[in-house]
């Protein structure tokens, strides 16, 4: 080990020896510009900032009114009816979200392959990506108002389809990214057996990408439940439609019950779906390596 010890001792600070700090003008101007933009926005936006101080009080009143509804005996009239009505609409919202996700999954599946650079030729990738970009740029609310409601009329079908088309944009994009991240070596091995292109995709690419893609579908289902609640406000079915009616009539106790159900069901489904997603990605059973690590821990 001759190399150790042959290095001469550090010479100590000699002028011009130590590197100088680079000029920080970029960071400084960046921070200044950001600060100016923030101040400008706060000043020019037409908001009554003074009302912000009244907000906690008002919110408190509404919360008290709403909790009163939730705390009433649900077995007594008319609260039984309130709970069951809210539950009925919540189930409709879930159905909308589920159908919407299915539609999105089916439509986005081929789109994801067409948009993946390691699978499709460049022009196809370009065109597919642009279509997906356009879909992603349109909020579900606009899809529902401008396209689905005029065609399918008021009701949950319009909402479900708006969610479905909206899902294609994100699912197609994220799915194509999963496909592009696939390990190319097994794919090469399948191609080397002389398999046809479609077989290479089905057995080299798909088994690697499918767990992540299914997890994306479930994640989108969680998003669609929340998005669906908003769609009801424009008459596209689900829990949102009853909520708007209640707000118009200012029936605070019923609003409380309905919101409580929305939150409870959403949290429950989120938790369930997240668990299934993790299980899918980690795979069933224990990996030998993971098992070993656990044994050591």
Partner 1 sequence: MITFRDVHVTYPTGTKGLDGVSLEIPEGEFVVVVGLSGAGKSTLVRAVNGLVPVTSGELEVNGQRVDGARGGTLRRLRADVGMIFQGFNLVTRVSVLRNVLMGRLSHSPVSSLFGVYGAADKEIAFDALDRVGILDKAYVRASRLSGGQQQRVAIARVLAQQPHVVLADEPVASLDPPTANAVMADLRRVQRQLGITTVVNLHFLDLAKSFADRIVGMRAGRIVFDGPAAEVDDRVFESIYGRSLSVQDVSTAEVDRLT
Q: Which residues bind partner 1 (CB under 8 A)?
A: 185-186, 188-196, 198-199, 202-204, 207-208, 211, 283, 285, 287-288
**Minimum distance between the CB of residue 187 and partner 1, rounded to whole angstroms?**
8
Q: Go through the chain and tell me how many residues it has.
A: 297
Please say which residue, 198 or 297, places its beta carbon nearer to partner 1: 198
**Which residue lies nearer to partner 1 by CB, 59 or 281?**
281
In the DSSP assignment, the letter for residue 49 is: G
- CA dist 143 and 47 (Å) reads 29
Choice between 22 and 194, CB closer to partner 1:
194
Phi, psi of 235 (to 5 degrees): 90, 15
Q: How far is the CB of 127 from partner 1 (least distance, A)?
A: 24
Q: Of 84 and 193, which CB lies nearer to partner 1 in the complex structure?
A: 193
Q: Which is nearer to partner 1, 24 or 207 (CB)?
A: 207
- DSSP letter at 144 equals I
Residue with token string 């409380």: 256
Is the CB of residue 112 less than 8 Å from the CB of residue 212? no
CB 201 within 8 A of CB 186: no
CB of 221 to partner 1, least distance (A): 23
Instruction: Write the CA distances from 272 to 176, 219, 265, integer angstroms.
Output: 26, 11, 11
Contact 229, 238 (CB under 8 A): yes
Helices (H), strands (E): how many in the chain?
Answer: 13, 0
Q: What is the DSSP letter of 168?
A: H
> Based on CB atoms, which residue is closest to partner 1, 147 or 191?
191
CB of 118 to partner 1, least distance (A): 15
Residue 192: CB minimum distance to partner 1, A = 4
For 17, 73, 210, the CA distances from 11, given in Å and listed in that order, are 9, 83, 59
User: How does DSSP classify residue 74?
Assistant: T
Instruction: Select 115 or 200, whichever has its Cβ closest to partner 1.
Output: 200
Closer by beta carbon to partner 1, 131 or else 214: 214
Considering the complex, what minimum distance in angstroms separates the CB of residue 207 from partner 1? Answer: 5
Distance in Å, CB of 121 to partner 1, minimum: 15
Query: Is residue 257 within 8 Å of residue 79, measured between CB atoms?
Result: yes
In contact, 165 and 151? CB cutoff 8 Å: no
Tell which residue, 193, 192, 186, has the closest CA to residue 209: 186
Q: How far is the CB of 126 from partner 1 (least distance, A)?
A: 22
């Amino acid at each position: 080990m001759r190399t150790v010890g042959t290095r001469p001792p550090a010479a100590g600070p000699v002028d011009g020896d130590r590197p100088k700090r680079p000029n920080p003008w970029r960071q400084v101007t960046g921070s200044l510009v950001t600060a100016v933009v923030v101040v400008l926005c706060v000043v020019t936006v037409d908001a009554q900032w003074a009302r912000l101080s009244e907000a906690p009080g008002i919110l408190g009143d509404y919360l008290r009114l709403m909790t009163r509804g939730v705390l009433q005996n649900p077995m007594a009239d008319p609260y039984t009816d309130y709970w069951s009505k809210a539950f009925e609409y919540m189930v409709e919202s879930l159905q909308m979200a589920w159908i919407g996700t299915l539609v999105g999954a089916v439509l986005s599946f081929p789109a994801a392959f067409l948009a993946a650079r390691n699978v499709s030729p460049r022009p196809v990738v370009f065109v597919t990506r642009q279509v997906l970009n356009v879909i992603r740029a349109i909020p579900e609310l606009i899809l529902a108002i401008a396209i689905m409601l005029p065609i399918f009329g008021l009701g949950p079908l319009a909402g479900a389809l708006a969610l479905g088309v909206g899902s294609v944009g994100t699912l197609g994009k994220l799915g194509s990214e999963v496909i592009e991240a696939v390990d190319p070596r097994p794919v090469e091995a399948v191609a080397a057996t002389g398999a046809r292109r479609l077989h290479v995709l089905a057995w080299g690419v798909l088994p690697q990408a499918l767990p992540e893609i299914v997890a994306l579908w479930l994640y989108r289902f969680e998003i669609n439940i929340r998005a669906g609640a908003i769609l009801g406000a424009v008459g596209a079915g689900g829990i949102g439609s009853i909520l708007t009616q209640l707000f118009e009539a200012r029936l605070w106790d019923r609003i409380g019950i309905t919101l409580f159900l929305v939150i409870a069901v959403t949290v429950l489904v989120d938790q369930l779906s997240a668990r299934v997603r993790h299980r899918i990605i980690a795979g069933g059973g224990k990996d030998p390596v993971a098992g070993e690590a656990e044994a050591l821990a």
